[in-house]
Amino acid sequence: MTSAARSSTQQAGGNEPASTKRQYRVSRADLPLSCPSPDMALWNSHPRVYLPIEKTGEALCPYCGAHYVLED
């Protein structure tokens, strides 16, 4: 996820692990989508998984429950 990805309330990345923010907004520039992303504070909090978001516009991480929404 690039710095363009934003949570529902603030910018993603930085000082919080993937599981502390529940919703992330991502753009097509952020694809392919993986959780956690390298710019998250605890990027190694669980195994990296690639999430299919292109078809439905939404994806849920099976490890931390982070919800991703694709913005066009």
CA distance between the termini of the chain: 15
Considering the domain boundaries, does residue 32 fall inside one?
yes
Give me the number of domains the chain comprises.
1
Considering the domain boundaries, does residue 21 fall inside one?
yes
Cβ–Cβ contacts within 10 Å for residue 33, how many?
21
Considering the domain boundaries, does residue 1 fall inside one?
no
Amino acid code (one letter) for 68 = Y
Considering the domain boundaries, does residue 50 fall inside one?
yes
Burial degree of 55 (CB within 10 A; 0-12, 13-18, 19+): exposed
Considering the domain boundaries, does residue 42 fall inside one?
yes
Q: What is the pLDDT along the chain (72 residues), one digit of tens a residue?
A: 554 454 443 334 445 555 566 899 999 999 999 999 877 776 668 899 999 999 999 999 999 999 999 998
Taking the C-alpha atoms of residue 65 and residue 51, their distance in angstroms, rounded to an integer, is 12
Considering the domain boundaries, does residue 12 fall inside one?
yes
pTM above 0.75, yes or no: no
- Would you state the pLDDT for residue 17? 55
For tokens 């669980």, the residue is 46
For residue 18 the two structure tokens come to: 């993937």
- Would you state the pLDDT for residue 23? 92
